[in-house]
Amino acid sequence: MKARQVLLFIIASIASLALIGFFFPREGLKMGSFTLEFIHPSDILKKDTTTKVDINLVLEQENYMQNEEIRNLSDSIRVLEDFAEKSPLRIRYPEDNPKYLFQLYSMLDRARKENKTVRIIHYGDSQIEIDRISDVIRKDLQEKFGGIGPGLIPAIQTIPSRSVSQSFSGNLSRYAVYGTAADRASHRRYGIMAMMAELKGEANIQFTTRGDAYTSAKNYTKIRLIVGNNEGPFTATLSTGNSNLGSKSIETSKNGVSILTWETQNPIRSANLSLNGKADIYGIGLDGKSGIALDNVPMRGCSGTIFTGISKESMTTAFKQMDTKLILLQFGGNMMPQINNKERIEWYGEQMAKQIQLLKEINPDAFFIFIGPSDMSKNIKGNMETWPYLEDVNNELQKVALENGIAFWNMFEAMGGKNSMPEWVKANPSLATSDYIHFTSRGANRIGEMFITAFMNDYQIYKIVEKYKSSKENKKTRNLIKNDKK
């Protein structure tokens, strides 16, 4: 075919599409549950009027303390208070109570000194896969408050991790409360990680921290195996290299959860667990003897409504014995394709309220922060714009979280709000992928840093209150951070 013929063919094709678009109904054609749409020629020619977000201003929010003139304590308090009240990065608290996390902050301060562990579990959707976001939060908190290790890992890992490489062999079968119907078990005993492995006989699990993991996550000295409902004797043997670190046994059948613990004198990076028996394996904790332990629990495709599908018994004991003090819930994005009206948004809010109430019931000593969905873009008449109803879903989740007595971190607002995702995609280097939904590794790091900025801002307020609560400046300090009304 000659070049002229190719050109004429392309022109004719474009003209035909334009003609179809011109006469095609602007509202589209309903075809069952789908709507077929054609872009009208005027939508292509008209100027893009979507609001643009300055990505540089968004990213500079983390440096708010450096951007202010601070000469004395009063200036510091003013800046901290201003951030807590006005910054898009701030954490919102139930009943506007800035003291919500004070008891948790106190535990963090004492953990290393008292040789205790404070466990944080980060549940989320595919935004936190590969240990993204979680690993940055873990690194910063372990550097500040002590602690080592990558936290809980499943017996069978189906998604690669930034922090741990693992494999298994033997008679283990994986089941999860999320995913496809084929992933489900015949029971509801999924445990603290919303997944479990069924052991029938012998199996080996090998795990090694990655060389490019953050420094604090590379080593661990405490290994805990969460076992449930063993039928008959159960034995687990831990070894590293050529060294046998000992065997732990459950001699007879036992319903419920047991936790088997090994401690090493020196930090290790690689180990093998040899299992023998018939039991549920709920997870393996790789931690230090004190400080922060932070677990990454990603659930691809999950909207967060799965916790009521897990038996309480398989979670309650593990939450308590694993020292769980803070639970992060990061959900919302996977609901967007199913949201098309206000009633559906309210239904989702009701479902998430049930999850929060259940988790608070079975872990009454824990604090909670709900992390809302990020901005997500959809091609709307040729422009990448925020998904319809996403802002409403985000607002509903914030409302539900606060009404149910837990904190909320607005990731949508922190990253710039409406139509911010295209700017994260276009950033150089890119901070989000071309699907306009997920962050790149670099972008996930920035989200983790934004969250830590908010968390540590309020920690600094806590420290000031503690320092001056019995001093002459107590009243002045309380007034400045508005604790006098609490």
Confidence tier at 131 by pLDDT (50, 70, 90): very high
Q: What is the pLDDT of residues 395-431, one digit of tens each?
A: 999 999 999 999 999 999 999 999 999 999 999 999 9
pLDDT at residue number 242: 86
pLDDT at residue number 16: 64
pLDDT at residue number 49: 52
Note whether 335 and 411 are same-domain residues. yes
Task: Identify whether the C-beta of residue 450 lies closer than 8 Å to the C-beta of residue 89.
Answer: yes
CATH number at residue 482: 3.40.50
- Tokens matching residue 372: 């809302």
Q: What is the pLDDT of residues 431-484, one digit of tens each?
A: 999 999 999 999 999 999 999 999 999 999 999 988 877 565 555 555 555 543
Q: What is the pLDDT of residues 182-216, one digit of tens each?
A: 999 999 999 999 999 999 999 999 999 999 999 99
Q: Is 348 or 22 the better-scoring residue by pLDDT? A: 348
Percent of the chain with pLDDT strictly greater than 70: 84
Confirm whether 275 is domain-assigned: no
Note whether 360 and 447 are same-domain residues. yes
Q: For residues 94-123, give the mean pLDDT.
A: 96
pLDDT at residue number 22: 55
Query: Which residue's entry shows tokens 């309020």?
Result: 458
Note whether 484 and 413 are same-domain residues. yes
Confirm whether 303 is domain-assigned: no
Note whether 34 and 63 are same-domain residues. no
Note whether 38 and 78 are same-domain residues. no
Asked if the model's pLDDT at residue 129 lies above 60, the reply is yes
How many separate domains does the chain show?
2
Confirm whether 375 is domain-assigned: yes
Note whether 430 and 363 are same-domain residues. yes
Note whether 57 and 41 are same-domain residues. no
pLDDT at residue number 298: 97
Confirm whether 453 is domain-assigned: yes
Note whether 11 and 102 are same-domain residues. no
Note whether 39 and 57 are same-domain residues. no
Confirm whether 287 is domain-assigned: no
> Mean of the per-residue pLDDT values for the chain?
89
Q: Is 9 or 267 the better-scoring residue by pLDDT? A: 267
pLDDT at residue number 92: 98
- Tokens matching residue 359: 């988790």
Q: What is the pLDDT of residues 255-282, one digit of tens each?
A: 999 999 999 999 999 999 999 999 999 9
Asked if the model's pLDDT at residue 24 lies above 60, the reply is no
Confirm whether 280 is domain-assigned: no
Confirm whether 149 is domain-assigned: no
CA atoms of 171 and 176, how far apart (whole Å): 17
pLDDT at residue number 66: 63
Residue 384, domain extent: 53-116+323-486
Confirm whether 236 is domain-assigned: no
Give the end of a domain, one of 24, 46, 68: 46
Note whether 459 and 426 are same-domain residues. yes
Note whether 340 and 435 are same-domain residues. yes
Note whether 68 and 24 are same-domain residues. no
